[in-house]
Amino acid sequence: MFDALKTLEREGEKSRVGGAYAYPSSDAAFDAACQALRELLG
């Protein structure tokens, strides 16, 4: 899915993308990403 993701993984690791989070629309996904960023920034 994301070719650049391979460069971020440590040797022997493989990331899972798409299974953990599912949103009904791109707007809902964007809203969730914004909320997560707000929580990180405090």
Q: What is the pLDDT of residues 15-39, one digit of tens each?
A: 766 667 888 998 999 999 999 999 9
Classified as helix, coil or strand, 12 is coil
* Rounded distance between C-alpha atoms, residue 15 and residue 20, angstroms: 11
Per-residue model confidence (pLDDT) at position 35:
96
Average pLDDT over residues 3-19: 75
Block residue for tokens 């960023």: 37
Higher confidence at residue 8 or residue 6?
8
Per-residue model confidence (pLDDT) at position 17:
66
* Rounded distance between C-alpha atoms, residue 34 and residue 37, angstroms: 5
